Each structure stands twice: as C-alpha cells, then as structure tokens.
Amino acid sequence: MPAKRVDSNQAEIVAKLRDAGVTVQHLHTVGFGCPDIAAGYAGTTYLLEIKSPGGKLTKFEQIWHAGWRGQVAVIHSAEEALKIMGVIE
C-alpha cells in the first residue's frame, strides 16, 4: 500500500466544515483507498474523499469506492461537501 498523500486543500476544507458545525474525523491515514474524512452533520455520517482541483482517484481509491455499499463522495471544496450534507443549498 503506497503512503497516503494529503491533498493541499484538505486542511482548508476541514476548517470550513468545522466552522459550519460539522464534526470531522480524519481517515486518510487508514490507506487502502479509504476516504480522507468522515464528516458528521445532523445525525448522519458522510464519507468524503478530498481531491485537489483536477485530482483523480488513485487505483486503490477506485477499488475501494467500487466495493463500498454505502454513501461516499469525492469533493474538491468545502462548498461541495456542505451541499452534499444539506448544510447549504
């Protein structure tokens, strides 16, 4: 399993989510394609893979996403995440 690289926009996205009242648990150290963060809002947990603009899923991430039977989303900004969670329209 290759070392997990943190996308350059992850810290900014996490800070904005927390400012909006979202709880965030970092998962990027799990590896094996696991999404970067778990975000909790209004009683629901969202799995979010953070990508820099133009970023694409790695091979491990593609495999993980294809096999996951629950919610997971790829985001490039805090606004995308907040929309997915219904915090903003």
pLDDT in tens, 4-24: 678 899 999 999 999 999 999
Structure confidence at residue 3 as a pLDDT band (50, 70, 90): low
Give the burial class of 5: count Cβ atoms within 10 A of its Cβ; 0-12 exposed, 13-18 middle, 19 or more buried.
exposed
- At residue 23, the 3 state secondary structure works out as strand
Say which CATH architecture domain 10-84 belongs to: 3-Layer(aba) Sandwich (3.40)
What's the mean pLDDT in 60-72? 97
Q: Is the pLDDT of residue 55 over 80?
A: yes
